[in-house]
Structures are given as structure tokens and as C-alpha cells.
Structure 1
Amino acid sequence: MRHKIAIFIVLLSIILSACGSNELSATATPLPTETPVIPPTLTSTPTTPLAILLLPAEMDPEASNLYQKTVYDLAQASGMRFQVRNTMTPEEMTEPGLQIVVAFPPDPGVAALAAAAPNVQFLAINIPGVTAAGNVSALGGNSQSDITAFLAGYTAAMITDEFHIGMIIPKDDADAQRAAAAFRNGMIYFCGLCKVIYFPAFCLVENLQTCYPQYIEIPSDEDPARYGPYADYLILQRDVDTLFVYPSVAEPDLLTYIGTTGAALIGAVSPEERPGGWVMTIQPDEIQAIQNAWPQLLAGQSGLTIQSPLGLSDIDPALLSPGKQRLVQATLTELQKGRINTANP
């Protein structure tokens, strides 16, 4: 009996242990991990380069608009901002992105402005006393009086019957003397021997080999108010029909007076009020000069002396027809390329 009880207890133990093995074992739940968030890196936006045009407030509106359009177009094509100002101080040279300043006379203080911003390129347009140095490039001071006079003589001979042309020059001026010779060579370049059919009386009386061109010199101490009689000498006594006036004696009153005589005029400086008979002006083309200099300024080249190409302006088509104008322009192009020698064409 005891043996049976022992067997029963053993079997019961086996059964109970088997049932206990079906219980689920507890497993640890892993804790969630946090992924670190990296903030974006802040980068500075590059400043758009800036070009500033310094113009006097009193500049002729038409000229001012032309210069503004020129520099604006260049700045836009270069991906730059553009501003027009009448004045600027050295303290304002810290303008973000400032790269190029183009300045016109009167001098807005280019030397001080350039010293305050050594990395900015300046272009001074015909400003007296400002020369190319450091970060300042300068336009002007390049004499081309021989080319101007040669073209004036060429044009005057082209439009004047019997080549009755003349020139007013200052006395005892070496550059004016070279210009006078170039004026004559310009006439010869157009007409060769320039033979006339009807010889003026003075030419026969004085037994001159060449009647034209005629010249008159104005003394350096002469009162500009008395320049008129010098023009009268050429027009009345020498029968000159077209005149070229050397720039240093081209006083407005003289040009206005010549305009009342019926004679034609060619000048090297645009008059504020165009006189009667004004054929054209031969003068430096500042617009083209700025356009030519712009790539060098963008490249950071400094201290440049820029020579303006010459251009034709103030043309009266009634005196210089479009066809003749094309001939004059073609001759000017050849002169500036050095293909015509003004001293020996």
C-alpha cells in the first residue's frame, strides 16, 4: 500500500511540473532610442556687385540720360546692381558689394574716395587734375588734334566749292601748328592737287602756288571779345566758306558770330547752342571709351590711361549728306587704325 502511495506522489509531481512548463516567460521590452536631429548649416548669401555712376546734378539732362543708360546696360550685362549719385563721401565707400565707380567732372573727390576703398575700381572721365594711379583709371589727356584737324580738312574740302576752306589757330602753339599741317593734308587726301577753276583775286595778286587752305593766327594775349575780326579776315578777305576752329580759341561768342556770316563751321567741341552753319563735331567718344574700359575694370585692372576713340556728332544732314557722312566715318576709322598718316598721307 505504501508502495502505491509513493508511486502516486511521483506521478503527481511529474504532472504538475509538466503543466508549469507552459507558462510564458517574461521578456524585457527594449527602450526606444532617440535619433539626434542635426540643425542645418547657415551659409551667407553673396552680395551682388554694385556699380555707381557719379554725375553732377547740373549736367545737361540729355547727356546725363545717355551716360546713365550706358553704365546701366554695362552693369546689367555684368550681373551687377546700379546706382546713380550726385555726391559721395569716403564713409559711404563701405557700400556692400561696391566694385566700380565711374565719375564725371567736376571732381567729386576721386582721390579721397579711392583711398577709402582700395579694392574698388574708379574711372575718372576727363576730370582736370586726376591722373591714372593706384585704383584710379583716367580718361582724357590724350591729344588727337592731328587726327581731328586732318578729318576736318578732308570734310571741309568735300563739302566746299573750289575748296575755299580755312582754319583759325592760336599763335605760337606747336600743337596747333601740327594741326594746321594735318588740316592741309586732309584736304589733299580728298582732292589731290585741289585745282580751282576761278582763282581768287588775292591768290593772283600774291602769286600764291596754293590758294587754300587759308589760316589766321590769334595772339595768346588777344581779348576773346575781339576774336570776330580774325574770322572776318578769312571770310571777307580770303573768301573762305568753311572754317575749322582750333579748340583752344573756339570761344562760344566767336562760333556764334561765324554762324551769322553764312560760313560753314566744323568744331572739336560741341557748342551748348549750335551756331548756324554747324556741319559736325569731331570729338572724343566717351560712351565708346567707357564701354571699351569696362571689361578691364571688371577684371580688377587699375591705373589705366584710357584713350577715347573719336566720334562724329551734331551732324547737320543738310550740310553733310548721309553718303558723305559714310565717307567721313570710313576715313576716321582708317585714321584711328593708323592706316593714314596725318603728316604724310
Structure 2
Amino acid sequence: MRVKNFFFMILIVVILSACGGSATEIAGPTAVPTHTPVPTATMIPTPSTPLAILVLPADMDKTTSDLYQKTVYDLAQQSGFRFQVRNTLTPVDLADPTLKVVIALPPDPGVATLAPSAPDVQFLAVNIPDLAAGGNLSVLAGDSQVELPAFMAGYVGAMLSDEYHIGMVIPQGDLDAQRAAVAFKNGMAYYCGLCKTFYISEIVYPTYVEVPPDEDPARYGGYANVLINDRKVYALYIYPTLANADLLSYIGTQGVMLIGTSMPETRPGGWVMTIRPDTIKAIQTAWPSLIAGQGGINVQSPLGIADVDPSLLTPGKLRLAQETLESLLAGRILTGNP
């Protein structure tokens, strides 16, 4: 009996060995081949990669600084350039043989002197005064147009004001200001056509007041009061040469709306928007010429809308204003003829 049990046990072991395989193997899921995507090609800078330097003041506010840095960084990446930011610029920086582009903002790091010493580098001076374009120095100056901002101020002022009660303060005897006054009127007409009002009034809008050239700036507020109190103006545009911070701050306390080309550091009450040169877009426009080695040009800054108060200029009205500005810049609207 014991012998039979022994042989029976051996038979069981033999059967199990034939069917089960090695006892140390652990069954697992079958591997499924996968496709590894090829990574997107990115530029790997090398010591020979061309370099662009952006020179910014150390005390520039972070938001503005970040915007300039991102703008030039994106342009550099798209063109296969390296990118660096400096607060100053020295002859040692220009000794780098890979340096091809320098974009400098005020205060002036001395580009008029540095540019001739580096003829293979294209310089763009952004809003640095008293510089002339030439050689390898291009200049982006503040927009000198007076009619486009005035047209937009008339257009938006009419859009926001009851019965189109808008007015403008201009310097007396200034021919540029006279052209701006015509553009202001045409901006209003472009928005409202004949601009017929419900109430009959002896005052024709837009209405203007002129400031004598020898007037004390401290007395400018009295001229604004003529429009606000006597002529019931609800939205004002102050010609840029008269628009000092004290005047704008005072008007901001009078319960009227303001549109201007430069907003004071402390936002005045009723400030609707700023119509100012779009420096970022100008840099983007100038970039292809800079990297192509074409310099010595005057770069015109297109106008843009900034500092918008959405409680006054709602998104829908802002869209209309932006569309009108784009048409002005494209020449589809003429400021002298609505």
C-alpha cells in the first residue's frame, strides 16, 4: 500500500511539471507596443547663435517691463536669436561678435555714441528724445499725429455723452490744434451723423474754448469750467500740450468724462481711455528690418487704446472704438472729411 502511494505521488508531480512550467515564473500582462511621439523641434542656443539685447531701466514697473521682455523674447525665438535683458549698455557688451540687435528704452544708455562703434549691430531707440535716425541707428519716436487722437476723442465722446455734449480745450493760434479741432468735430459726426438733439440749444456741439499762449497753466482749470458749467459739456478732450496732470486731476473732480493721450500716474475721475502710441506693435513692425541689417529708419508708432474704464466704455462700445481706430490707421477714414 505504501509503495502504491509513493508511485501515485510521483505520477502527480510528473503531470504537474508537464503542465505548469517553472514555478518561479509569474504570469503578467502582455506588453503592447506604443508609439512615442517625436518631440517638437526647439531652438538650442549655441555660442554662434545671433543675440538680441533689450535695455530697460531697472525701476520700470513690473507689468510694463514684463510686456517688453515678452515681446522681444517672442520675436527673438521666432527668428532663432538668443535674448538677453540689461539695465545698462557698455562697449564690453558690444564686443560680443554674435550681437546683432539692441533695443533700448530711456534713459538713454548712450546709443548715439555706441551705435557707430558697432556697425554690424542694428540699434532701435524707443522714445529716447533728441536722437536722429541714421546709419545703424533706427528711432521710434512718440506719435506726432494730432488729428487721429482728436477724431477718436470726438467719436467716443459722442458715443458716451447725452445729446452729444462734448467739448475741447485748445491752445489759441496753434495751427496743429486747429486741425485737431476739425478732426474732433468730424469724429463726432462720424458716430452720430447730423447729431440732432432732442432739446433746442443755442450751444452747438462740439464746443471749444481757446487758451491764450501766455496764460498761466495754473489758470487752465477756469477755461475747462466754461465748458463744464456754462456750456454743459459731459465729455472733454484737452489738447495734449495743455493737458498737464494738475488740470486733468482737477477736471476729474468735476463729474465729467475725460479722454486723453496720456493718463496721469494717479487716474483722474471719469477717465474713459487713453489714445496713445502702441510701442509694442511698433517694435514688432520694426523687427524684420532690424534682423535683416536694415537700419537708419524712423519708425512710426501706430496708435492704440489703453487705460480703458469698462464701466464707462463697455466691451461692445470698446469694440466699436477699436474698429474705428483700425479704419483710421488703414486710411479708410479721413479725419478731415467724415
1:36-51 to 2 correspondences below 5 Å: 47-51=48-52
Paired position in structure 1 for 2:243: 250
Aligned residues: 293
Q: State the shift of 1:173 in Å.
A: 1.2
* d(CA) in 2 for partners of 1:270, 1:100: 31
SS at match of 1:227: helix
Shift of 1:142: 4.3
Q: Which residue of 1 aligns with 2:7?
A: none
Distance 2:214 2:59 in 1: 32
Map residues 270-309 of structure 1 onto 2, 5 A cutoff: 270-309=263-302
Match of 1:237 in 2: 230
Q: Which moved more, 1:112-121 or 1:221-230?
A: 221-230
Alignment deviations for residues 303-344 of structure 1 (CA, whole Å, 9 cap, x no partner): 111111111111111111111111111111111111111101
Q: Give the alignment partner of residue 327 of structure 2, picking from 310, 325, 334.
A: 334
Q: State whether residues 143 and 277 of structure 2, in contact with CA within 8 Å, keep that contact through their aligned partners in structure 1.
A: no
Task: Name the CA distance, whole Å, in 1 between partners of 2:61 and 2:238.
Answer: 24
Q: Contact (CA 8 Å) 1:90, 1:112: kept in 2 or not?
A: no
1:129-152: CA deviations, max 9, x gaps? 112111011112542211111111
Instruction: Indicate conservation of the 8 Å contact 1:169/1:215, yes or no.
Output: yes
1:116 maps to amino acid: S
TM-score (norm: length of structure 1):
0.82
Listed as ranges, the gaps of 5+ residues in structure 2 are 1-45
Partner of 2:186: 185
Q: 1:46 to 1:66 in 2, by over 3 A?
A: closer
Aligned pair 1:213/2:206, yes or no?
yes
Find the residue that maps to 2:287 and give its secondary structure: helix
Q: Is the 8 A contact 2:142 2:277 kept in 1?
A: no
Does 1:159 find its partner at 2:152?
no
- 1:216 maps to amino acid: V
User: 2-side partners of 1:140 and 1:295: how far apart?
Assistant: 18
User: Which residue of structure 2 aligns with residue 128 of structure 1?
Assistant: 129
SS of 2:57's partner is: coil
Supply the distance in 2 between the matched residues of 1:312 and 1:195 (Cα, whole angstroms).
28
Q: CA deviation at 1:290?
A: 0.5
Residue identity matched to 1:113? L
Equivalents in 2 of 1:269, 1:52: separation in Å? 28
Say which one has the larger Rg.
1
CA offsets, 1:289-308, max 9 Å, x none? 10111111111111111111
For residue 39 of structure 2, what is the aligned residue in structure 1? none
Q: Residue 291 of structure 1 aligns to a residue in which SS?
A: helix
Which residue in the other structure is 1:316 paired with? 309
265-274 or 293-302, which deviates more: 265-274
Identical pairs, percent? 63
Selected match of 1:267 from 260, 265, 281 = 260
Distance 2:239 2:129 in 1: 20
Query: Using the alignment, how far apart are the partners of 1:266 and 1:293 within structure 2?
Result: 29
Separation in 2 of the partners of 1:288 and 1:279?
22
- Per-residue CA deviation, residues 233-279 of structure 1 (Å, 9 max, x unaligned), is 11001110000111111101111111111100001113212111011
TM-score normalised by structure 2 residue count: 0.84
Question: Cα distance, 1:216 vs. partner?
Answer: 1.4
